Chains A and B, each alone.
Chain A
Amino acid sequence: GENVEQHPSTLSVQEGDSAVIKCTYSDSASNYFPWYKQELGKRPQLIIDIRSNVGEKKDQRIAVTLNKTAKHFSLHITETQPEDSAVYFCAASKETSYDKVIFGPGTSLSVIP
């Protein structure tokens, strides 16, 4: 069935360094890829998303890249700060009427001051 893999499962970086989280998906028809950030005990919140007609998207310190041929996409966080510490989930879906989102298992990011 449809599947989204995510690596690494845990990631520790020094404050100011960059963090990269990678995801792969199995359904080649997927064309929408959101990323969610979940702080401890709180709801997941959308931080950035990308559609298949775009290879890269950037929003301040966060960027996402997509390689449709290889079926993988990545989240890049530059100049990390302690408040970036959270669990990050990637996801994939198809923009048709009745499809659900497939989430990756999550990456726990710790930014060390």
Chain B
Amino acid sequence: DGGITQSPKYLFRKEGQNVTLSCEQNLNHDAMYWYRQDPGQGLRLIYYSQIVNDFQKGDIAEGYSVSREKKESFPLTVTSAQKNPTAFYLCASSLTGADRGSGETQYFGPGTRLLVL
């Protein structure tokens, strides 16, 4: 199913709590991305990483943090500073650098639905 996985499928957050969403890929892709999707809306970029140990803020980074210690993994932490975290979170990866040829095709994980208790 594309080699990119997310866990958990559903996550419940209590007020004031930090939670971490997992994203793993075995596609040997350099780039990884986190998107937030609200009901009936498009994809908004939270953070992206083009290479290990480097990441950039997207359009809605406030209240979120990421790390990229390994090529395969790009976890997203939803902090207590994010006041409206209920959404569907999608992780994606793509091939960059000298191995491009397939364009910036992004492969998506199955998503994590975050709900607030």
A: residues with CB less than 8 A from B are 32, 34, 36, 41-46, 49, 51, 89, 93-95, 97-101, 103-106, 108
Contact = CB atoms under 8 A, between A and B. Distances in A.
Contacts of A105: 41-42
A55 B110 CA distance: 32
Interface string B86-102: 00101000101100100
Contact of B42 (A34, A42, A95, A103): A103
Contact of B103 (A43, A51, A108): A51
A36 B97 CA distance: 23
Contacts of B45: 100
| Chain B facing A: main interface SS | loop
Interface of B: 2, 33, 40-43, 45, 48, 50, 58, 88, 90, 94, 96-97, 100, 103-111
B105 A34 contact: yes
Given A43-B90, A89-B43, A103-B43, A32 B110 contact: no
Contact of B108 (A45, A94, A95, A98): A45
A101 B96 CA distance: 12
Contacts of A98: 50, 96
